[in-house]
């Protein structure tokens, strides 16, 4: 049986990040949303590495079902 994604929230996490790398949680188990804290250990999931060249405000997916990871594409409105 495949591991299932945990829907953390049905809205994006709109935050300021960068410059530098961040690791977006794909599984929804992290206590440090929207970022990975290693809670995926033992599952088929791994975090999504994203690098920002400069400081910017972005909308990270909170439902973990986006088709454009790690960014929100509005999928949360249909689940």
* pLDDT level of residue 3 (50, 70, 90 thresholds): confident
Mean pLDDT of 21-33: 97
- CATH class of the domain comprising 16-57: alpha beta
**pTM above 0.85?**
yes
Is residue 27 packed enough to be buried (19+ CB in 10 Å), middle (13-18) or exposed (0-12)? buried
Quick: pLDDT tens for 31-79: 999 999 999 999 999 999 999 999 999 999 999 999 999 999 999 999 8
């Amino acid at each position: 049986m495949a591991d299932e994604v945990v829907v953390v929230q049905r809205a994006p996490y709109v935050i300021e990040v960068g410059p530098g790398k961040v690791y977006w949680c794909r599984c929804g188990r992290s206590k440090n949303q929207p970022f990975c804290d290693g809670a995926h250990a033992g599952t088929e999931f791994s975090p999504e590495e994203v690098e920002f060249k400069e400081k910017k405000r972005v909308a990270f997916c909170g439902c973990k079902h986006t088709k454009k990871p790690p960014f929100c594409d509005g999928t949360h409105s249909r689940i």
